[in-house]
Amino acid sequence: MASSKTPRHGVIAHPRRAGALLAEGALVAFPTETVYGLGADATNGEAVARIYEAKGRPSFNPLIVHVPDLAAAEPLAVFDPLAHRLAEAFWPGPLTLVLPLREGHGLSGLVTAGLPTVALRVPALDLAQAVLAAAGRPIAAPSANPSGRISPTRAEHVLEGLGDRVDAVLDGGACAVGLESTILRTDPPTLLRAGGVPVEEIEEITGPLARDTTPGKVSAPGQMTSHYAPVVPVRLDVTGPDEDAVLLGFGPVSGDLTLSASGDLREAAANLFDHLHRADALARRSGKSRIDVAPVPEMGLGWAINDRLKRAAAPRG
Ligand code: TXA
Ligand code: MG
């Protein structure tokens, strides 16, 4: 996937350089275990404003703040006992907690879009940890895609979508999880977005969660119906080939591209956005008018995969 869009400081390999650029107020895309993030210093309002500008994102949509560990998170937000237990169980990892802002937090008001809460996450990937250590400050980072488009799981995806709008891209190869983090509020315990930590694992600690993830309902304000959208339309629950469409297979349904031939949901999650990017390019190249997707079971990571697929297939607003 060659791209003519080149960031000002190019594609870089060293997390310390990424961290130093972030500390200077630059916009730097970097990998996490979930997806690539479009990072900026969360305490620098101008740097954060550039995130919204680059993504073309509605400014009422708040951003996730990334910190290296629980100790760095505590000065920013008030942790209730359940939030503490969840942080201890799942950090570092693909869980984001939405918590009340603590007084004196120092974050730009643009990060939270003026809400009294902040979304906090501790990424597990070594490269992301090294970036945060080098930056030495909380880093706001939404997924590094233009607003409403497919999330990036490779540096090439970032270059394709935002290459001329970021200052640098740290290349860490493909993301292992491939789905964004699970987002939770703890008071009362509510799932705001299904994601990289399966809901069932969280419910072992929280008990049954309320769900506030209806497509179209703006509960996590970024959860708009048409999201993660490829350029060509998407149709779900298709069990066989059709000459007008590129088929994305799963399990027994084998397609032009297959999320996981063995029906492994973890493998399917890791492949999801990359395969959507590729299916989109393939459809446009071969004059097909649609992407068809095989059924994926509603269990474990299947909840998050289906959530993203439903948004990709939703009517465009
Ligand atoms: O895995 C991830 O979470 C990736 C990587 C880069 O960390 N980030 C990511 O960020 O997916 P983004 O901005 O694409 O999604 C953030 C979601 C949005 O739906 C946003 O509305 C929600 O988090 N959010 C952020 N702050 C919130 C808050 N205070 N209350 C409710 N929802 C919030
Ligand atoms: Mg996103």
Residue 217: the pLDDT is 46
Residue 139: the pLDDT is 98
Region of 10 (left: φ > 0; alpha: ψ -120 to 50; beta: rest) is left
**Separation of CA 287 and ligand 1 centre (Å):** 35
Residue 96 CB–ligand 1 contact under 6 Å: yes
For the CA of 141, the nearest ligand: 1
Region of 136 (left: φ > 0; alpha: ψ -120 to 50; beta: rest) is left
Residue 155: the pLDDT is 97
Task: Among 63, 179, 212, name the best residue to mutate to test ligand 1's pocket (greatest count of ligand atoms within 8 A of Cβ).
Answer: 63
Read off the tokens for 9: 């400081």
Residue 35 CB–ligand 1 contact under 6 Å: yes
For the CA of 220, the nearest ligand: 1
Residue 181 CB–ligand 1 contact under 6 Å: yes
Residue 3: the pLDDT is 47
**Separation of CA 283 and ligand 1 centre (Å):** 30
Best CA proximity match to 79, nearest among 120, 140, 111: 120
Per CATH, the number for 234-313 is 3.40.50.11030
Residue 114: the pLDDT is 75
Residue 190 CB–ligand 1 contact under 6 Å: no
- What are the b/e assignments for 175-194, b being 16+ CB within 10 Å? bbbbbbbbbbbbeebbbbbb
135-173, pLDDT tens digit by residue?
999 999 999 999 889 999 999 999 999 999 999 999 999
Pick the atom of ligand 1 nearest to 61's CA.
Answer: 21
For the CA of 34, the nearest ligand: 1
Residue 218: the pLDDT is 45
Choice between 23 and 115, residue whose per-residue pLDDT is larger: 23
Residue 225: the pLDDT is 56
| Domain ranges, ordered by start, for the chain | 11-211, 234-313
Kindly state the percentage of the chain with pLDDT values over 70: 93
Average pLDDT over residues 83-99: 98
179-219, pLDDT tens digit by residue?
999 999 999 999 999 999 999 999 999 999 998 875 444 45
Choice between 276 and 226, residue whose per-residue pLDDT is larger: 276
Average pLDDT over residues 280-286: 96
Read off the tokens for 203: 């419910």
Architecture of domain 11-211 in this structure = Alpha-Beta Complex (3.90)
